[in-house]
Structure 1
Amino acid sequence: MNLTLFDLDGTLLPFDSDHAFGQFLVDHGWADGADWAARNDQFYADYCAGQLDQAAYIDFATSAWRHRPLPEAEAMRERFMAEVVRPGLHDNARSLVRRHQAAGDLVALVTATNEFVTAPIAAAFGIEHLIAVELEREADGRFSGRIQGVPSFQAGKITRVRAWLSGLGHRWEDFAETRCYSDSPNDLPLLEAVSHPVATNPSPALEATALSRGWPVLRLFA
């Protein structure tokens, strides 16, 4: 059995789901208009530059919905899925996932976006295992705006993957081949850790790295 790990935003999706969900909440009056949108854009720019303050971003990004009743937030998330995410699912991306599943690979979606946003997206791709940023809850069940545990971001993705594998009774070293698909230099630690890195719809910086190292470059949305 082989291990296949997929990044989400920019890799299987042609946009960033975290940033897009924030803009969706602005568009529907859940966040404070232009000022909130500008901060959302700045956090996204920081992410692209590899300089994201993950804790500050989670506090900001969840602030638009975490104080609302959970069923109301979930209903808005389903509108986001119906109006933004599902129309953005590409056959090439879904076929790639299915191909690895059909080959018997252990497949996981490993994303720096939080679990609230990404759980239904993983389900839409038919991916059982989701490794996402986990959100802390207060004693009454409300989301606190803080991260629980190690965020699945940059080198934290390796920590989280190893912990997930251990929970399944596996070790990284058990797999004949390990593969990672990603578009972002933020995932260089994970790409460097696998036996088969694939730069997928890569940013210019990641594409330059991939070409210099002889990694394959895959374009799903061309």
Structure 2
Amino acid sequence: MTYLTMMPNETSTQRPRLALFDLDHTLLPLDSDYEWGEFTIRIGWCERDDFGRRNQAFFDDYLAGRLDVHDYVRFATEAARRAGPQQAAAAHARFMREVIEPAIRPQALALLQRHRQAGDTLLLVTATNEFVTGPIAQRLEMHELIAVQLQRDAQGWITGEIDGVPSMREGKVRRVQAWLAARGLGWQDVDSTFYSDSFNDVPLLERVDQPVATNPDARLRALAQERGWPVLDLFTEQP
């Protein structure tokens, strides 16, 4: 496929290569957080009118770069918290079958595989919470995940609060930097690439060695063209 010629890590380097990927609208042609909310309506966990309206409002706030992530995570995890761990796990398995699996595109899998074959370390860096994204990362065979971490109660179940720095906007830079530091590395020690669709991810795109605007929103596409960043329209070719 022609898009594979846009792989940025073809240049030789002695530094280990780190390939970072956003998830929603980058590797998946949907927003997994928003779709989880819609799924909870379909299975009867949430009421359509009020929940659907609030879910859309939060999504619009995210696109506009004004999302209060703490308020959103409380809202987005409420139905699963009420259901409890067993019912929530069963519902998520159904969500994977009915929503996520049909959305996985061969173009995205091929991009990931190309980086694996090149010997790169792959890291999924998403602003969506770990409850939603953990199984998706496993399905994509991405063993390193940075997501919004959720606080747990004494029984080990999620509380609706965020644990630590949320992986959103500048928080993605901080979380990746902490991931590197835990391995005795800094930015200067790796050849880093980041694929993202979202203008919200400009802080991390600016921090890596090789930013790739992937299925970019209008603002990111304009910025990428201005700065000469590669633009990868991953889902132009249909499966």
Q: Pick the TM interval, shorter chain.
A: over 0.9
Question: TM-score, length-normalised on structure 1?
Answer: 0.98
Query: Which residue matches 1:197?
Result: 211
* Deviation, structure 1 residue 17: 0.1
Question: Which amino acid is the alignment partner of residue 20 of structure 2?
Answer: L
Question: Which amino acid is the alignment partner of residue 213 of structure 2?
Answer: A
- Does residue 198 of structure 2 align to residue 184 of structure 1? yes
Q: How does 1:85-124 map to 2 (within 5 A)?
A: 85-124=100-139
* Deviation, structure 1 residue 28: 0.9
- Does residue 55 of structure 2 align to residue 40 of structure 1? yes
- Does residue 26 of structure 2 align to residue 11 of structure 1? yes
- Structure-1 separation of matches of 2:144 and 2:20: 10
Query: Which residue matches 1:53?
Result: 68
Q: How does 1:19-30 map to 2 (within 5 A)?
A: 19-30=34-45
- Structure-1 separation of matches of 2:208 and 2:193: 6
Identity of aligned pairs, percent? 51
Q: Which runs of at least 4 in structure 1 moved beyond 3 Å after TM superposition?
A: none
Question: Which amino acid is the alignment partner of residue 16 of structure 1?
Answer: D
Question: Which amino acid is the alignment partner of residue 190 of structure 1?
Answer: L
* Deviation, structure 1 residue 51: 0.4
Count the aligned residue pairs. Answer: 221
* Deviation, structure 1 residue 113: 0.1
* Deviation, structure 1 residue 169: 2.8
* Deviation, structure 1 residue 130: 0.3
Question: Which amino acid is the alignment partner of residue 209 of structure 1?
Answer: L
Question: TM-score, length-normalised on structure 2?
Answer: 0.91
- Structure-1 separation of matches of 2:95 and 2:122: 25
Structure 1: unaligned runs, 5 residues or longer:
none
- Structure-1 separation of matches of 2:109 and 2:57: 30
Pairwise CA RMSD of aligned residues?
0.8
Given candidates 218, 227, 230, the residue that maps to 1:216 is 230
- Structure-2 separation of matches of 1:140 and 1:126: 29
* Deviation, structure 1 residue 20: 0.3
* Deviation, structure 1 residue 3: 1.0
Question: Which amino acid is the alignment partner of residue 105 of structure 1?
Answer: D
* Deviation, structure 1 residue 168: 2.4
Question: Which amino acid is the alignment partner of residue 217 of structure 1?
Answer: V
- Structure-2 separation of matches of 1:201 and 1:188: 14
- Structure-1 separation of matches of 2:42 and 2:152: 27
